[in-house]
Structure 1
Amino acid sequence: METYKNILVVIDPTTDEQKALGRAIDLSIKTNAKLTAFLSIFDFSYEMTTMLSSDERESMRQTVIKDRKVWIEERIKALGAQDKGIDVKVIWHNRPFEAVIDQVLNSNHDIVVKGTHEHDKLKSVIFTPTDWHLLRKCPCPLLLVKDHSWPANGNILAAVNVGSDEHEHQSLNEIITKEAKHLANVINANVHLVNSFPGTPVNIAIEIPEFDASQYNDTMLKHHQDAMAEHAEKYGINKEHTYVKEGLPEDVIESLSQKLDAELVILGTIGRTGLSAALIGNTAEHVIDKLNCDVLALKPADYISPLQS
């Protein structure tokens, strides 16, 4: 990707503080991209008012939409961006993530920017929040914004899976690394690459007494280190900015992002849906609540959203 040309920022209706809008404005200025501020709203009470005609209900909806547009324009003005030509779009829709993806597909946005916060772990399984839906189903890059600033000469941490021979992972490694280098140029940051690998499976060590766990770990470590060195060299990334560590991806990424005080973590998400997604989740979802910085989630090049016809 050369640059972002058409950014969509999702407005948070619950607060006047719009950190995602601020980040999106900054990104649009740096990339000279078009920016659309987007909000989907829905009030069930309007739908249940049987005493109103359909025309009257529609009129009430339009009144609410107009009020929200004015409110968003005030937020834009508060950020000093009233002259940046930001489009404001408010629609009536009862499923926010579907509204966002429809907007992405219909208007060819190349990145979605959205504020996020810590989710209740149990609810995130039973009542899937909009963030989780977007992580799994948004067809373009998704930047989830937290409170960490983007200082000049900061650090971007890109999580890759260089030890895998699977085409999907290799393709994502390329997409993630190129995106990290591109954004590093845009926001004046340093690129770091991290790869985690699993330790010895406990059941193997127990069931096969002659199994040498130490030798297995050494072999795995060297395999991933060699693969990382080759990958980093291919993309011109300093070897000192590469890290290969044993452990779960969410633990390794969190620990290193804290150590580097990273302003952005970039990772791939395969877009699992259904029961397997609820029970297993994927790395992006396990990582996101642990980090205090922004997360950019990228899909494979051939990914098609379930919402695409």
Structure 2
Amino acid sequence: MSIYSKILVVADINRDDQPALARATQLAAQSRSRSHITLFLSIYDFSYDMTSMLSSDERDAMRRGVIHQREQWMRKIAEPYLGDHFDFDVKVVWHNRPYEAIIGEVFSGEHDIVIKGTRKHDVLESVLFTPTDWHLLRKCPTPVLLVKNEEWPNGASIIASVHVASEIEAHLDLNDRMVEQLQCLSSRLDAKPYLVNAYPVTPANITIELPEFDPTAYTDAVRGHHLTAMKALRQKHGLGEESTLVEQGLPEDVIPKAARELNAGMCIIGTTGRTGLSAVFIGNTAEHVIDKIDCDILALKPQGYISPLDPGNAK
């Protein structure tokens, strides 16, 4: 299975090292087919558009000059990451909304993944997601990989946060896609694959309202259901029992804990969206999980997801 052969990397204008580009070249190096990486940057300076002393042609010339300077800078910072096993180019556009520029490039360039670096909080040792990150997670039609560090951890694992108890077809399909990507990425990054699932704690108020209710039997039944569903999913994709983890608790607690204990270099999550609507949400569970995870995040959309920025939606 060959995935991610046309990679869009968002350049970080605030630093010379480029973790997202490092991860992109790492993936490209292990691809079965020749990959193409585009290093992309959206820039905008309000003053260039509002200077009344300049003509329209003069403003255009100034913008072209700034774009050219940025292209030269991007080619320079990319040099340490380049190799012979993939094609590479740079692209700079003038746009006042970076996330719209990135998603527009996804559509026009038919890229199959967006890779972007995230900022790490120096004090809390956690990842700080920018507004652009959140817009991409919610609205980008392709998978979005948010990269924390340039160096891939030694002996790292990749975990996929699956929702095995659902009977909704979209969730089941998303589980399958997540496992497929988990297996492919684990192979390309030489990592151990794990499926992680959280099942709910028995609500305390039930035992009060229903005295005859047996919380132990209920918890055992719920756990048994999740274990059975997890077994079916792992067997479907040829994974062993040692590659699965089913824990009681909220996903926003279980998934980050598993990521730490399993030395995860990446966590794959599924996001939810309202297909075809302009109001698209990433989903509360995924949003809370992302906030607590200190590793790369790969976010996948449901099958059939339509971005509100899809040019095909224009009326």
> Normalization by structure 1: what TM-score?
0.90
Distance 2:85 2:189 in 1: 22
Q: Report the alpha carbon displacement of residue 92 of structure 1 after superposing the two structures with TM.
A: 0.4
Aligned equivalents of 2:206, 2:53: Cα separation in 1: 68
User: By how many angstroms is 1:281 displaced?
Assistant: 4.4
State the one-letter code of the partner of 2:148.
K
2:70 match: secondary structure: helix
- The aligned residue for residue 122 of structure 1 is none
Distance, in Å, in 1 between the alignment partners of 2:191 and 2:219 is 33
Preserved contact between residue 173 and residue 303 of structure 2 (Cα < 8 Å) = yes
* Residue ranges of structure 2 left out of the alignment (5+ in a row): 122-128
- Greater mean alpha carbon deviation, residues 22-31 or residues 259-268: 22-31
Q: How far, CA to CA, are the matches of 2:4 and 2:108 in structure 1? A: 17
User: What is the aligned partner in structure 2 of residue 245 from structure 1?
Assistant: 247
Cross-structure match for 1:123: none
Offset from partner CA, 1:72-130 (integer Å, 9 cap, x none): 011111435599541100000111111111111111111110001258xxxxxxx9701
The answer for the alignment partner of 1:59 in structure 2 is: 61
Asked if structure 2 preserves the Cα contact closer than 8 Å seen for 1:42 and 1:93, the reply is yes
Query: 1:203 Cα deviation (Å)?
Result: 4.0
Residue type of the partner of 1:222?
G
- Assess if the C-alpha contact under 8 Å between 2:267 and 2:296 holds in 1: yes
1:109 aligns with 2:111: yes
Q: Distance in 2 between matches of 1:233 and 1:281?
A: 28
CA separation in 1, counterparts of 2:138 and 2:208? 36
- Partner of 1:14 in structure 2? 14
Residue matched to 1:100: 102
Match in the other structure for 1:124: none
Pairing of 1:38-77 with structure 2 (within 5 A): 38-77=40-79
User: For the residues of structure 2 that align with 1:148 and 1:22, how far apart are their CA atoms?
Assistant: 6
Tell me, yes or no, if the aligned pair for 1:284 and 1:297 is still in contact at 8 Å. no
Asked if structure 2 preserves the Cα contact closer than 8 Å seen for 1:148 and 1:292, the reply is no
Q: Please, which runs of 5 or more residues in structure 1 have no aligned partner? A: 120-126
Q: Is the 8 A contact 1:118 1:289 kept in 2?
A: no
Among residues 182, 186, 189, which one is paired with 1:187 in the alignment? Answer: 189
CA deviation after TM superposition for structure 1 residue 7, in Å? 0.5
Question: Does 2:262 align with 1:264?
Answer: no
- Is the 1:39–1:91 contact (alpha carbons within 8 Å) kept by the matching residues of 2? yes
Q: Which amino acid aligns with 2:248?
A: E
Residue 149 of structure 1: how far off its partner (Å): 3.4
Of residues 140, 155, 158 in structure 2, which corresponds to 1:156?
158
Judge conservation of contact 1:148–1:263 (CA < 8 Å) in 2.
Answer: no
SS at match of 2:119: coil
Q: CA RMSD in A?
A: 2.3
Q: Does 1:4 align with 2:40?
A: no
How many matched pairs?
A: 300
For 1:148 and 1:12, locate their aligned partners in 2 and report how far apart those are by CA, in whole Å: 12
Residues 26, 189 of structure 2: 8 Å contact kept: no
Structure 2: distance between partners of 1:226 and 1:249: 18
TM-score, normalization by structure 2: 0.88
Deviates more, 1:45-54 or 1:87-96: 45-54
SS across alignment from 1:156: strand
Paired AA for residue 175 in structure 1: R
Q: Is the 8 A contact 2:39 2:89 kept in 1?
A: yes
Shift, 1:147, TM fit: 1.6
SS of aligned partner of 1:164: coil
Counterpart CA distance in 2 for 1:302 and 1:201 is 35
Q: Is the Cα–Cα contact under 8 Å of residues 28 and 85 in structure 2 kept in the other structure?
A: no
- Deviation track 1:126-163 (CA, whole Å, cap 9, x = no partner) reads x9701111111111111110027335653111110010
Query: For residue 233 of structure 1, what is the aligned residue in structure 2?
Result: 235
Contact 1:199/1:217 (<8 A) preserved: yes
